[in-house]
Amino acid sequence: MDSDITARLIEINRTFYTQFGESFSATRHRIQPGVRRILDRLNGDEPLLDLGCGNGELARELAKRSHHGPYLGVDFSLPLLQDAESQPDGFAARFVQADLTEISAVSGQLSVKEGWSVVTAFAVLHHIPSTELRLNILRTIHQLLNKDGLFIHSNWQFLNSEKLKERIQPWESAEVSGSAVDVGDCLLDWRSGGNGLRYVHHFNEDELKELATATDFQVIDVFYSDGETGNLGLYEVWQPI
């Protein structure tokens, strides 16, 4: 993908999550079933890095479960991070503002001495345009994990819903040529608190497996969850090779 197009897609999402951060946060005050399934696997003492932490709902759920490992949440949206700062007493959550598309430049701020046991990226990678940027992020995650660590992520399967497919907008509405984007790239509208646009990529299992192989991860679990049909989220658990 051309670097100018990549920058434009990043800017679309940066604008969206700044302008609509408050209304978006209002729709994200529950944990998805797939995330609960993942959390049920944890011991409760793992150091956990939450990439794209949003409004901190995962941290609140960890607090409810008496998680006592270190937690660091990372997001670029100030409106969402302001909501994230409101956490239950006694839960040692920290938050950092950082753009994941530039994660390699700030990785030193995100590292811990012996590496993270768990890195999560729920509903995050599908907002990252271009294979090059995705590989850079995944290589950095590999470096941040300890040797037995797990990278756990979910990706929106919006094409599995006829209702969601109706929200796909023509690229011209964002002044982008449809021929310049990658296969699987889509532009979806937002209708709460005003009209907005978001860039989203629809991943399939084969595409994710290629990314894992290219960044020295092995895929150890794959499952679908969420939504009325139970297949609107593609969850994968990776481990460094």
pLDDT in tens, 111-124: 998 999 999 999 99
Which numeric CATH code is attached to 3-158+202-240? 3.40.50.150
Average pLDDT over residues 50-66: 92
pTM: 0.93
Average pLDDT over residues 179-203: 91
Lookup result for tokens 């979806």: 188
Domain assignments of the chain as residue spans, ordered by start: 3-158+202-240
pLDDT of residue 1: 87
Among residues 42, 87, 89, which one has the least CA distance to residue 67? 42
Interacting residues of 56 by C-beta distance below 8 A, sequence separation 6+: 73, 80, 81, 83, 84, 85, 86, 87, 93, 95
**Percent of the chain whose predicted confidence (pLDDT) is above 70:** 95
pLDDT of residue 29: 60
Compare 31 and 214 and report the one with higher pLDDT: 214
Average pLDDT over residues 2-15: 94
Query: 127-143 pLDDT, tens per residue?
Result: 999 999 999 999 999 99
Average pLDDT over residues 198-208: 97
Out of 78-92, 107-121, 176-190, least confident range: 78-92
Q: What is the mean pLDDT of the chain?
A: 92
